[in-house]
Amino acid sequence: MSSGKILPRRQAIPVLYTRGTHYEVGFDMGRTFGSMIKNFLILSQPLNETYLPLYGTAKGRQIYNETLESVKGSFPQYIRELEGVADGAEVEFHKLFLLHLDEILPQALKHQPRNKNQPTGCSSIIVNQKHCRLLGHTEDALTETLNHYYFVVAHIISDKPQGKYNVKEEHFMSLCYAGHLPGYTMSHNHHGLVFSINTISAELLRSGKTPRHFLTRALLATSNVDDAFRVLTDAGVGAADACSINFSFLADPRQMFYNVEMAPNPARKNESHLSIKEVPLGAHNYHANQFERIHLDQANELMLKSSVSRMHAFGKYKPPASEHDVRNMLGDVTGGCFCVWRDNGRCDEVVKTIAVGLFDLNAKTFSLYSDNPSLTEPHCTLPLLYK
């Protein structure tokens, strides 16, 4: 029975190992984490107070349907995967798809006020030194998401090529919010890709395009830098909403990290608007939840204030050159309610840091913290899947 109760922080991170078709892997996720998914659907304020009521209107249903058809045209395999999650968890598919539409529906309907309780966090730090190649990431989310996440290690083998990029095999590990597809938080795959995502709340969103969640899901299947840029560009359709992607490939001969800001195309072209920043050996980079290079209007004032505060906190440190430096920075609690590590111990806090991940590209490991990384040891350190 789902209680809909918010629990204090649990020192537990479930991991599911699964293999099969897209539908089978989705079904395993749904079946294994069914009670957590049901509970999250009860607790999710944006879903219950904004998305579902709008979905109940004729115009809302039209936007939902045109975006669903668009995703089916490009990535039918990920719709099957999400149908598997819904069936396995015994919940309604439309509720899960609405979570993936996120703010596209209210924005397209000019619904005011837009959901003020959007996630207002997640910070990424790249360190690219010869002796120390790291990607560190705090995952901040609405308090109802605390304890409602899990890791999935999936090996998907299809009998025929799938989707617009003809993918036959995927093997990845990803942190998933309950009921969500893999790929939107921190992830890595067997081709040596490591990446983290920072949500950006663009004012301009486009229905009938590809929601960012499906583009980052497709990123999990990429095998090199050109592949990754092809997926993010999404030629013929383009992104419906915005985010920033921090990534690198272990086998990249240039040993380059990238930060990509992705947004809906302001010129209405059928492709994403991208700004690509290279982070070469000897450099570092920080990114939070705002555009640093793309000049487009942004919504969610709280998220912008929080981003400015967190970037200011990082700026007070010397450039990071070790795991110790990154852990201290990601555990920083200065800056009041807009600090990097967010948890004042109260259940009434709207946003909390739910987990921290640290990819070490030289050691080929991924460390996960469920509590402040400057004060605690990792919950687990796992080898990367790099084949």
β-pair type (15-20, 149-162): parallel
The 3-class secondary structure across the chain, one letter per residue, is CCCCCCCCCCCCCCEEEEEECHHHHHHHHHHHCHHHHHHHHHHCHHHHHHHHHHHCCHHHHHHHHHHHHHHHHHCHHHHHHHHHHHHHHCCCHHHHHHHHHCCHHHHHCCCCCCCCCCCCCCEEEEEEECCEEEEEEEEEEEHHHCCCEEEEEEEEEEEEEECCCCEEEEEEEEEEECCCCCCCCEEEECCCEEEEEEEECECCCCCCCECHHHHHHHHCCCCCHHHHHHHHHCCCCCECCEEEEEEEECCCCCCCEEEEEEECCCCCCCCCEEEEEEECCCEEEEECCCCCCCCCCECCHHHHHHHHHHHHHHHCCCCCCCHHHHHHHHCCCCCHHHCCCCCCCCCCCCEEEEEEEEEECCCCEEEEECCCCCCCCCCEEEECCCC
What is the mean pLDDT of the segment spanning 83-96? 98
> What per-residue confidence (pLDDT) applies to 382?
92
What is the mean pLDDT of the segment spanning 104-120? 69
Q: What average pLDDT does the chain have? A: 91
What is the mean pLDDT of the segment spanning 326-343? 86
Reply yes or no on whether the pLDDT at 81 is more than 60. Answer: yes
Reply yes or no on whether the pLDDT at 116 is more than 60. Answer: no
pLDDT band at 7 (very low <50, low <70, confident <90, very high): low
> What per-residue confidence (pLDDT) applies to 351?
65
Reply yes or no on whether the pLDDT at 101 is more than 50. Answer: yes
Q: What is the pLDDT of residues 14-58, one digit of tens each?
A: 899 999 999 999 999 999 999 999 999 998 889 999 999 999 999
Percent of the chain with pLDDT strictly greater than 90: 77
pLDDT band at 375 (very low <50, low <70, confident <90, very high): very high
Reply yes or no on whether the pLDDT at 9 is more than 90. Answer: no
pLDDT band at 92 (very low <50, low <70, confident <90, very high): very high
> What per-residue confidence (pLDDT) applies to 118?
52
- Residue among 171, 172, 199 at smallest CA distance from 185: 199
Reply yes or no on whether the pLDDT at 343 is more than 80. Answer: no
What is the mean pLDDT of the segment spanning 228-244? 98
Q: What is the pLDDT of residues 162-185, one digit of tens each?
A: 999 999 999 999 999 899 999 999
What is the mean pLDDT of the segment spanning 336-343? 80
Domain boundaries, the chain: 15-109, 121-383
In CATH terms, the fold of domain 121-383 is Penicillin V Acylase; Chain A (3.60.60)
pLDDT band at 1 (very low <50, low <70, confident <90, very high): very low
> What per-residue confidence (pLDDT) applies to 318?
97
Strand partners, 262: 243, 274
Reply yes or no on whether the pLDDT at 121 is more than 60. Answer: yes
Q: What is the pLDDT of residues 280-306, one digit of tens each?
A: 999 999 999 999 999 999 988 888 988
- Residue among 173, 171, 300, 194 at smallest CA distance from 245: 194
pLDDT band at 268 (very low <50, low <70, confident <90, very high): confident
> What per-residue confidence (pLDDT) applies to 347?
43
